[in-house]
Structure 1
Amino acid sequence: MLISRVLASGVVFPLYIDPGNKCAEWTAVSNAVTSNPTMPFYIIINPDNGPGGKANSQPDSTYQACVSTLRPAANPNVHVLGYVATGFGSRASSAVEADVQTYAGWGAAYRPTGIFFDEVEGGSSANLALYTTYAAFARGQISGAFVSLNPGTSIASSYYSIADQIMSYEDTYSSFSTNDLVISSSTPASKQAVILHTAPATLPTSTITTLVHTEGIRALFITPVSEADNPYGSIPSYWADFVTAVGS
């Protein structure tokens, strides 16, 4: 029997898009997942700056029907991550943990497999302790939870020991340089993800080659949409080609 090798690098997608009628707005993403069973996908869902609704509530029927389309049995390498804001360490811990608990209480067919902690501030030992607590809480609420932290920039190596993935860069394409990445034995590329928006209208294949095939980062997302136009509110025009380039 031929066993396909799982790719080391994959795609992260901040899918801050309403699924639409019959999940139509997510079709291009779910199709990519289905068509690339050896590629890791890290898909961040964000119903309403978090899970939305009251604490411990279920999502609306659209999310219940559509999240499961992102997690086909043929691709166990897909992580659906629930968005949780942390306010750069200033948001009340009870509110952060309530969001995690709400995602954890969703039905099994549409429950996220991990948590994406946004607005991470890594400038103090107190915050390290705080995010250590959040990571442990997520894993205690969701069995086998994948924990992603988003400082949007390089962060102390100690954070790598508490997370499965670090969003080590999130900004405009033009401002990015590979020198912005700190890659070492304690801050490995295999745990780093990069998000670039306001990218060229033509797929920047050389950047993909450098980040994925040379540097070996864990996940990448590139979109030509600018910050002013909400880069995470639509599917990139070259989405299918982007996925192909990452997996080539």
Structure 2
Amino acid sequence: MTERMTEPRVQRGSETLPREACVPAYFHPERDTDAWKRLLANPPRLVVLRPGEEKDAAYPPVISRLVAAGTEVLGYVDTDFGLRDIAEVRADLRRYRAWYGLRGVFLDQVAASEDRLGHYREVVEGVRGTLVLNPGVYPDPGYADLADVLVTFEGPLSAYKAMREPLWARGLARGRFCHLVHDVPSKAFDPTLRRAIRHAGTVYVTDRTGDQPWGDLPAYYGRPVVAG
């Protein structure tokens, strides 16, 4: 895969959270209007959409505004850790293209073990557009050859404090990686973000908690970043 992601451009006191963020926007444009107003006012580098299995007329207008702002919009596809049938995955990809004009894809619940590499090679074969794989942990290094970006951490701050970067990942550009950290209180925002940008070119930090921390924007979305 060709590398499309840039290194983070965070400068002391001059940038905001969204600039190099990958925002899982799992909230609806009509039901969650406040969150969408805030997101569109501070468009990030990447946005992941999860519209559902039926075509939804609420999405094309916000997609158009994001694209006009320079945001790349990705369609969410669950792979069930390599257990979901490849034909079903490809059907989701076709729907995103036909209904919303999306070519980029965010493959979620990706396996991390070497024995599933062959499955994922078949999944991504012929896929065009930015491809993000989300195992949520540092996987077998072979997965780095399949994606433009790997989400190598997704979880709460308590687990993030114990995260350790493997040696193989240190040889690749930070732009190849994304970290998604939730349960981050306001007082921990700056140190968590500073740590994240040492390891990943694309990051997202939120104070939201529970089973669906991506169901709203954090209270501090858009605040200035203090890069140490």
The answer to whether the Cα contact below 8 Å between 1:196 and 1:223 also exists between their aligned partners in 2 is yes
Equivalent residue number for residue 60 of structure 2: 64
Offset, 1:156: 1.3
The answer to whether the Cα contact below 8 Å between 2:112 and 2:138 also exists between their aligned partners in 1 is no
Give the 3 Å change call, closer, same or farther, for CA 66–21 of structure 1 in structure 2. Answer: farther
The answer to whether the Cα contact below 8 Å between 1:224 and 1:236 also exists between their aligned partners in 2 is yes
Equivalent residue number for residue 14 of structure 2: none
Offset, 1:84: 0.2
The answer to whether the Cα contact below 8 Å between 2:153 and 2:178 also exists between their aligned partners in 1 is yes
Give the 3 Å change call, closer, same or farther, for CA 70–89 of structure 1 in structure 2. Answer: same
Gaps of 5+ in 2: 9-19
- Equivalent position to 2:26, from 16, 29, 37: 16
Amino acid across the alignment from 1:117: L
Equivalent residue number for residue 194 of structure 1: 179
The answer to whether the Cα contact below 8 Å between 1:121 and 1:151 also exists between their aligned partners in 2 is yes
Q: Within 5 A, what are the aligned runs for 1:126-165? A: 127-139=116-128, 145-165=129-149
Offset, 1:179: 4.2
Give the 3 Å change call, closer, same or farther, for CA 21–175 of structure 1 in structure 2. Answer: closer
State how far apart, in whole Å, the 2-side matches of 1:171 and 1:216 are. 15
- The count of aligned residue pairs is 211
SS at match of 1:163: coil
C-alpha deviations, 1:115-169, integer Å up to 9, x for none? Answer: 00001012133x2122122222322xxxxx0000000001111111110000000
Matched, 1:42 2:46: yes
Equivalent residue number for residue 84 of structure 1: 77
List, as ranges, runs of 4+ consecutive aligned residues in structure 1 with deviation greater than 3 Å: 21-25
SS at match of 1:138: coil
Q: Within 5 A, what are the aligned runs for 1:203-242? A: 204-212=189-197, 215-228=198-211, 230-241=212-223
State how far apart, in whole Å, the 1-side matches of 2:59 and 2:102 are. 11
Equivalent residue number for residue 56 of structure 1: none
SS at match of 2:170: coil
TM-score (norm 1): 0.77
Give the 3 Å change call, closer, same or farther, for CA 88–129 of structure 1 in structure 2. Answer: same
State how far apart, in whole Å, the 2-side matches of 1:203 and 1:113 are. 35
Give the 3 Å change call, closer, same or farther, for CA 61–177 of structure 1 in structure 2. Answer: same
State how far apart, in whole Å, the 2-side matches of 1:203 and 1:70 are. 29
Amino-acid identity (%): 24
Offset, 1:190: 2.2
The answer to whether the Cα contact below 8 Å between 1:164 and 1:191 also exists between their aligned partners in 2 is yes
Give the 3 Å change call, closer, same or farther, for CA 29–220 of structure 1 in structure 2. Answer: same
State how far apart, in whole Å, the 2-side matches of 1:93 and 1:237 are. 38
Range that drifts further, 85-94 or 63-72 = 63-72
Task: Flag the structure with more relative contact order, 1 or 2, with Cα contacts below 8 A and sequence separation at least 6.
Answer: 2
Gaps of 5+ in 1: 1-5, 34-39, 54-58, 140-144
Offset, 1:24: 4.8
- Equivalent position to 2:108, from 111, 118, 131: 118
TM-score (norm 2): 0.83
